[in-house]
Structure 1
Amino acid sequence: MAKARKAHEATRQLVFAVSGQGYSLPAEHVLEVGRRPTITRVPNAPAALAGLMNFHGVATPVVRVSALVAGPESNDFASSSESKIIVYDEGGAVALLIDDVVQLSADSSAQSLNIGRLLADTFLTTARISRRNVVQSGYEAPREGAPINDRDRALLSFQVSGQYFALPLESVVEVLTLPVDVTGLPRSEVTSVGMISLREELVPLISLAALLGLPGDANGRRHVVIVRFEEARVGLVVDTMRGVVRIPESSVEPVPSILQRGDGDAEIDAIARGDDGRPLISILSPSGLFRNRAVSVELAGQAAENKTMTDVSTAEANQRFIVFQLGDDVFGLPIGSVDEIVQLPEAISRVPNAPEFVTGVINVRGKAVPVIDQRLRFDAAQSATAKRPRVIVVTIERLRAGFIVDSVSEILSVPDSAIGPAPQLPGNGGHVFDRVAARDGAMILLVDPRELLDKAERDLLERFKPAPGAARAL
């Protein structure tokens, strides 16, 4: 009887519908059936690959069955609602986008699909997801917060009440948009905005404008800079993020003695001169901020509550990533690989004889830097909200280049346990992404900086040398 029951289970078929047609799969290989999840698009992937989904913490390819059935050479496949998924075990989990599940039956006249063969025909290979190299990329980035050379300061720059401020990059844990549901505190300091729960830890929020005696801007979209000093963390509410900047030490001066008076003097550590007419940047002192009485009161008030909560953030190491947008897609880049983030100038200088993939050249602190429009390379949709694109400046094997993106939204601190390997992805762009990070049920594709340019492009860029006066002319 047991053998007969086992044989019966092996012959059952899961019948489903796609584009009005019925198909079936062996039920014994079905891992899960559910509604369409959040899917992360993979740039330049074949039409059959819808993207990646988070399946119990593992990045899993999501495939359109309508495209598989149409064949690898066809881009004209029948329309499908794709409202459901079947997670199927085919030498590794793969999610199949379908319209609906019809029945589970041992007797079905629906067309049986050989998923393994269809995947092989479409993608050439579907490799079992490997668990090796889950945490660390093959890219060996500079130490986080380390300057590109010893004479530079790596800073995170932002605006408060129209003025420019910055914090040392190594003191910044992460940056996020100010949540709507901030918990207010009774009888709190005037500088207090409230508190938020961040990975099982209560973090007090302080208005940097109020702390520095500046008028606040309650109308704009504000951000929270999570700052670490020793064992304490606090969220500083600021107005507009400017991005990562690297300032030569020769451009940094101590605070004038006449300004070392008043309530806010201890918080400002130095002043950075802007080049090319850029405004001055006040560099804040993390130790000075945490010594401020208002901040000390907020930290003391939360210490008791945090003792009763599990601090998972100190239980394992975290990695930090710059999160940027291209159209509706979100990507992460190791923060240690980023030289600087600047706004895209209104006009980009076109340089004769530049490689075809180079959009133009911009002036970054007196040096001509070639820029590449990553929106085109990732085939990203036009962003409806991006007002002023940004340029992420990266050094790749001694070559410095800027990559145009729609926006840079935050610095994300990701626990090692939430980082996994990217599955082997088909298409021209799959090799760019070596890892993925799980966040709020979705996956963020993590970019391997070395793969932003292939060897041929690096060779062309190496031979491309803008004229010595190109930077001054920009």
Structure 2
Amino acid sequence: MSDLDERETSAPEPDGLSVVEADDAGSADYVTFDMDGERYAFPMDRVQEIIRMPDLVRVPLGPASLEGLANLRGRVLPVVSLRSCCALADAEHDETTRVIVVDGGVPLGFVVDRVASVVSVDREAVEPADTVQATVNSDILVGVIKSGGEEMTTILDVDRLVGTQFALLARHRGAGDSRTAATAADEGASDDLADTLELVSFTVDGQEYALPIDRVQEIVQAPEEVSRIPNAGRNVLGVMDLRGRLLPVLSMRRVFGLEVTPLEPRNRIVVVSLGGESVVGVVMDTVREVLRVPHDLVAALPDVVGTAGRATEVESVCRLDDGKRLVSVLSIDRMFDSATQAELAAHLDGFEAEETTEGEPQMDIADDGRGDEELFVVFRLDEEEYAVDVDAVQEIIRVPESLIRVPKTYEFVEGLVNLRGTVLPVVDLRTRLGLERSERDDRQRIVVLIIGGVRTGFVVDSVAEVARVAKSVLEPAPELSAEQASLVTRVANLPEQQRMLMLVQADQLLAAEQAQALSKVTSKPALAAA
């Protein structure tokens, strides 16, 4: 395949096998790799590409072999442990770990210890699997390549691997042909990205600007206020807590010498990288879109303009819509030089984070004109982000100091709470989704939903924001297990923010019999009077 990275196939070859560039009529190509000290292979025509171990988003209630979901150039890629599929012992990932992306009806990534080479083998040198003994289940073997000595390369069956581990995924192979064709088109289109400039555009005081997407780490909604830093630079509004770390927040309006307006729900904070681990959040009026602009539509700022005051922060201009739309591309390094970074570091040193907002996220949904967007409440569990439709959320409350315990009930039921005269069952969502239970802390919240007609509270690690998500970035979640497929139905893939939101179907959080059992508990007079 054209996407196969040649650097991944430069390792020493098995004895007696040679890497070739073309396939003969009497030979077949294989990608060979190592696991647990043994050598295995996939047929080359099933391999789409080989990548390094990506960042993963863990999926609740998925198969044991599922390591998580990755973002592969805008596509959601399920990544699974091939060791687990082959009943081998787990191993830590290291710099040699690779993911082999195969065509299993839909793209699927298998984690292997090390990729060895691409080899061409005489078809007569492949012995059927039933004639040899192997260390893995023979049901997933195609055959074995013998290379003269005692060394053998075991060929694994991609279809059986997918079918045995992911039955639901295997059902979609019929539709997979069209997906594969679309994927091929996407692969070709990705080659064109080398000739484009990728940007995140935003507006300040009605003017459109952009930053290089590789310097943008994420985009978050602006809080109601930020904690101020005494004697900070004039451009610094203060600091905010971003998932447990202090983020200095600057105003782009101040950078541009404009009047600073109070923070509003439409404002967004663009978190940009200053190099190394240093990041800063910049308040924008609004964030517009991700742009991919051909280089021939990007022009450097003329020298006569670039020497005039603050305009040096603009390094180029994009001419869009036949020149009717001009987007100024800003330079992060010019905006935040070493002196500015040192000043920020000095002010942050020793500063302790404070809670910047009180109460819960404001769910102002009076404007129903959502158009091509959907509105979600985003919450976190075990460092992953989930989302539920805002219309399903009744309210968000703090976790009380104590709950009324319920004997002989489900393990995930934390207890009951009296919410303004109504008995509310409280479920630990971590336990319900098979995650490890955590200690209570001040960040946790109860998200109140209606499940099967019963008002039910779900304890989450924290509530992040109420986010508008474009329908164009919503896609069906891979169906990897029956329970997971009914609970996590869609994924919001946000590569420009380096985020992936798993969209939870609220009415699937409890089974019908579970909701009915909780309804009986809350209807008991003694509890209602508590």
Q: TM-score, normalised by structure 2?
A: 0.55
Cα deviation, residue 371, structure 1: 0.7
1:391 to 429, 446, 455: 446
> SS state of the match for residue 359, structure 2?
strand
Cα deviation, residue 113, structure 1: 0.7
Q: In structure 1, what is the Cα distance between the partners aligned to 2:56 and 2:38?
A: 24
Q: Which blocks of at least 5 consecutive residues in structure 2 are unaligned?
A: 1-20, 122-144, 146-151, 179-220, 228-239, 264-281, 291-326, 328-350
Query: Paired residue for 2:105?
Result: 91
Residue correspondences, number: 335
Amino acid at match of 2:517: L
Change (3 A) 1:7 1:456: farther
Does structure 1 conserve the Cα–Cα contact (< 8 Å) formed by 2:452 and 2:512? Answer: no
Residues 55-87 of structure 1: per-residue CA shift (max 9 Å, x gap): 3433222111111111xxxxx624252731111
Change (3 A) 1:160 1:470: farther
Is 1:343 matched with 2:412? no
Query: Paired residue for 1:81?
Result: 93
Query: Paired residue for 1:110?
Result: 153
Q: In structure 1, what is the Cα distance between the partners aligned to 2:375 and 2:26?
A: 47
Is 1:435 matched with 2:452? no
Residues 331-385 of structure 1: per-residue CA shift (max 9 Å, x gap): 1111111001111101011145655543211122221101111111123245689
Q: In structure 1, what is the Cα distance between the partners aligned to 2:107 and 2:357?
A: 42
Equivalent residues in 2 for 1:439-450 (5 A)? Answer: 439=494, 440-450=497-507
Does structure 2 conserve the Cα–Cα contact (< 8 Å) formed by 1:245 and 1:339? Answer: no
Cα deviation, residue 161, structure 1: 9.5
Equivalent residues in 2 for 1:62-73 (5 A)? Answer: 62-70=79-87
Q: In structure 2, what is the Cα distance between the partners aligned to 1:78 and 1:321?
A: 36
Is 1:195 matched with 2:250? no
Does structure 2 conserve the Cα–Cα contact (< 8 Å) formed by 1:372 and 1:401? Answer: yes
Q: In structure 2, what is the Cα distance between the partners aligned to 1:364 and 1:429?
A: 31
Amino acid at match of 1:462: S
Residues 104-136 of structure 1: per-residue CA shift (max 9 Å, x gap): 11036521111221232233443338699xxxx
Cα deviation, residue 219, structure 1: 5.9
> SS state of the match for residue 242, structure 1?
coil
Q: In structure 1, what is the Cα distance between the partners aligned to 2:89 and 2:60?
A: 20
Change (3 A) 1:442 1:245: closer
Cα deviation, residue 44, structure 1: 2.8
* Percent identity of paired positions between Structure 1 and Structure 2: 28
Change (3 A) 1:343 1:472: farther
Residues 171-220 of structure 1: per-residue CA shift (max 9 Å, x gap): xxxx9959646334344436568632624399xxxxxxxxxxxxxxx964
Residues 34-59 of structure 1: per-residue CA shift (max 9 Å, x gap): 11112111113232111222234332
Residues 376-421 of structure 1: per-residue CA shift (max 9 Å, x gap): 1123245689534211100123211011111111122211111100
Amino acid at match of 2:400: P
Cα deviation, residue 436, structure 1: 0.6
> SS state of the match for residue 405, structure 2?
coil
Query: Paired residue for 2:458?
Result: 403
Q: In structure 1, what is the Cα distance between the partners aligned to 2:440 and 2:454?
A: 31
Q: In structure 2, what is the Cα distance between the partners aligned to 1:416 and 1:459?
A: 34
Residues 135-168 of structure 1: per-residue CA shift (max 9 Å, x gap): xxxxxxxxxxxxxxxxxxxxx9x87699xxxxxx
2:520 to 463, 468, 471: 463
Q: In structure 1, what is the Cα distance between the partners aligned to 2:416 and 2:42?
A: 54
Change (3 A) 1:241 1:90: farther
Does structure 1 conserve the Cα–Cα contact (< 8 Å) formed by 2:478 and 2:485? Answer: no
Amino acid at match of 2:43: P
Q: In structure 2, what is the Cα distance between the partners aligned to 1:48 and 1:115?
A: 15
Query: Paired residue for 1:260?
Result: none
Change (3 A) 1:35 1:161: closer
Q: In structure 2, what is the Cα distance between the partners aligned to 1:106 and 1:285?
A: 61
Is 1:326 matched with 2:326? no
Q: Which blocks of at least 5 consecutive residues in structure 1 are unaligned?
A: 71-75, 133-155, 163-174, 203-217, 223-238, 247-283, 288-313
Greater relative contact order (Cα 8 A, min sep 6): structure 1 or 2? 1
> SS state of the match for residue 464, structure 1?
helix
Is 1:16 matched with 2:14? no
Does structure 1 conserve the Cα–Cα contact (< 8 Å) formed by 2:378 and 2:385? Answer: yes
Does structure 1 conserve the Cα–Cα contact (< 8 Å) formed by 2:249 and 2:283? Answer: no
Change (3 A) 1:321 1:397: same
Equivalent residues in 2 for 1:361-376 (5 A)? Answer: 361-376=416-431
Q: In structure 1, what is the Cα distance between the partners aligned to 2:390 and 2:449?
A: 10
Query: Paired residue for 2:184?
Result: none
> SS state of the match for residue 67, structure 1?
helix
Does structure 1 conserve the Cα–Cα contact (< 8 Å) formed by 2:168 and 2:480? Answer: no
Q: TM-score, normalised by structure 1?
A: 0.61
